[in-house]
Amino acid sequence: MPAAPWQPSALTAEPLVQLVDHAGQRRVDDVSAPYEPLARALDADALRTFYRDMTLTRRFDEESTSLQRQGELALFTQSKGQEAAQIGSAHAMRPQDWAFPAYREHGVLLVRGVPLRQELHLFRGIDHGGWDTEQHRVHLNTLVIGSHALHATGYAMGMSRDGLVGTGDPTKDEATVVYFGDGATSQGDVSEAFNFAAVNQAPIVFFCQNNQWAISVPGELQYRGPLSRRGEGFGVPGVRVDGNDALAVYAVTKTALDKARAGGGPTLIEAVTFRRGAHTTSDDPTRYRSETEEKYWAERDPIDRIVALLKAEGAWSDSFAARVQAEGDEFADELRTYVRSLGRPDPMTMFDNVYTTPHAINEAEREWMRQYDASFKKGGSR
């Protein structure tokens, strides 16, 4: 009898690092044992911080989605369900490390101190990115699928050439984390990044959030082999981790980053998670996903899991939950007020800062846009 086909969405399809199951109980097996001490080192305050950051990230997701529905944003990319993958990995970074996000890594930005309201500049059309990348060491969002894997690899190679890798000084050694989804692994840019990173022993962690869907395309139609092994042919070792288990994600990412900073080269992490919302506010996942699938992953929600863990270990209290709820309410109020104060951007600003010197095509497009916009002021209609 032929073997059952390999299923990309099955948690048991490949060895998986999991330290807390979906009922909130700690577990250890042969695969997860090397990472267990790192998770054990997280005290109750650290676990409560994970919960707080995951909760605020989801609140940001919900409020931004509402703002888009009210016409305040042109588009929004939801991250609901992926909070553990983002918060766990971001907390494994050191201040001097760099993150290269795609476009739904709101939790990573939160942990790195980026004011999330500034991320909404892009989705409102105010500018191409609203935060100081040098201050937070977070590159601007990249909406072109997979291209930033090469940017991040090049940046990591620069770290090596600047002597910022393998010195043994924990305040000096640096590494880069680049975030992308399962759909991006089909892009040539990502494969090229694997090769450059391996050949140059670049201090980089490729962090793939396998959320099961590339817009409306399921994993079964994207690839026929484990994503965690995708880098092996290039010389990039991989690890598969439960992406809804914040502790396991933290421990796996910290291990990979420590190796990278020490000069051990790149690692690919496949965080198996699930996008509970839409790909963007432009699509409707009920058109292509089943209720059974959504129910299965709802029972494995990452925030519910860490709440169960905190309760099981006596680190939960109603007063703590109320404080986080109040912080979320204040955060949401400020976000709404800020976004509504931004007004309508001048469309001509899109041509600014494209080139450092005058460019004929850019100037021609600017003039066409000026005449087009002026036509409405003469009585035309949109």
CA distance 11 to 17: 10
Q: Give yes or no: 58 in active site.
A: no
Q: Give yes or no: 275 in active site.
A: yes
The residue from 275, 276, 289, 300 that is catalytic is 275
Q: What is the dihedral of CA 55, 58, 64, 66, to 10 degrees?
A: -100
CA distance 362 to 349: 12
Answer yes or no: are the C-beta atoms of 155 and 97 closer than 8 Å: no
The residue from 124, 279, 300, 305 that is catalytic is 279
Q: Give yes or no: 279 in active site.
A: yes
Answer yes or no: are the C-beta atoms of 92 and 112 closer than 8 Å: no
Answer yes or no: are the C-beta atoms of 204 and 266 closer than 8 Å: yes
Q: What angle do CA 310, 66, 135 make, to 5 degrees?
A: 65
In the chain the first and final C-alpha atoms are separated, in Å, by 63
Token readout for 186 is 């089909």
Token readout for 38 is 């790192």
Answer yes or no: are the C-beta atoms of 240 and 10 closer than 8 Å: no
Instruction: Tell me which residues are annotated as active site.
Output: 275, 279, 288
